[in-house]
Amino acid sequence: MQSMTGCGAGTVQRGGWEVTAELKSVNHRFLDISMRLPRNISFLEQTVREEISSILKRGHTDAFITVRNLEGSAAEISVDRELARKYTEAGTALSDDLRAVNDLTVSRIMSLEGVVTVQEAKMDQEMIIKLCSEAVRAALSQLVSMREREGEHLRDDLRFHLDKSAALREKILTRAPGVVSDYREKLETRLKNIIAEGVDPARLAQEVALMADRCAIDEELSRLESHIGEMRRYLDAKGEIGKKMDFLIQEMNRETNTIGSKAQDAEIAKYVVDLKSEIEKMREQIQNVE
């Protein structure tokens, strides 16, 4: 079992270049990959997506990629001197017209649009792609290890709540036969008060049978036991099991609601409330299972 929460980083250096990949994931219904790459390395986006999707199946994942030239910047800087001269002449003329101080400096002129052009160093895209793949795989290794550790904590917590749910189911199972017996006694007392000459055994048996049929929860308890057993099997399963567990927890909640509505017993109602509380705690945890 894996959590969908984790982070990891990987760095690879070769051929005078360094590529660093940082990944962070949180829970999400599907695999959702988000990244913002500088324009000069936008060609890496497909590589990053393929590497991540080959390992992760669910979760929102943010990817940050940086590429650095270890041999120093090989970028070329060119200055448009003619444009700089025109900016200077225009500034001087405006200063004279307004009789204001001309505060143009070389650094300010260089910051004006179009004066300075930076040509980035050419990259060997094929090599950078390979370095990026290695860096992302290293980051994924760390991220998956963290997700597995978080998954162990989730497993322990879910097992704890499953044990409590199973115990509550046993209490309901033990109490269920007494519901019909209690109803029979109450019905018999009520009928004795109404009919002075006594109670018709056949009528009493019929009423009790109808009540027993309406409040029978054997099937629901049986299905609930099956769901708990299936959930225990999922705890030790691998791969993408979060969606299956989410569906199963909905079924457990549905059976519990049916038990509460059919039993018509104060003691069972109390157990149902406690059971729904345990199921809700599991539901919240399952939202973070891959």
Using one digit for the tens of pLDDT, what is the confidence trace for 226-270? 999 999 999 988 888 999 999 999 999 999 999 988 877 888 899
* Domain residue limits at 223: 149-286
Task: Tell me, yes or no, whether 108 and 178 share the same domain.
Answer: no
7 confidence band (pLDDT: 50, 70, 90): very high
Task: Tell me, yes or no, whether 178 and 243 share the same domain.
Answer: yes
User: The dihedral of CA 170, 174, 179, 182: what is its sign?
Assistant: negative
CA angle 148, 137, 11 (to 5 degrees): 110
Structure pTM? 0.70
Total number of domains constituting the chain: 3
Task: Tell me, yes or no, whether 63 and 82 share the same domain.
Answer: no
Task: Tell me, yes or no, whether 85 and 195 share the same domain.
Answer: no
Residue 1 lies in a domain: no
Strands 6-14 and 17-26: antiparallel
Residue 258 lies in a domain: yes
195 confidence band (pLDDT: 50, 70, 90): low
Task: Tell me, yes or no, whether 163 and 223 share the same domain.
Answer: yes
Task: Tell me, yes or no, whether 162 and 203 share the same domain.
Answer: yes
Residue 210 lies in a domain: yes
Cβ-proximal residues to 275 (8 Å cutoff; 6+ apart), any chain? 165, 168, 169, 172, 256
Task: Tell me, yes or no, whether 156 and 278 share the same domain.
Answer: yes
Count the alpha carbons within 13 Å of 159 in the hemisphere toward its beta carbon.
Answer: 12
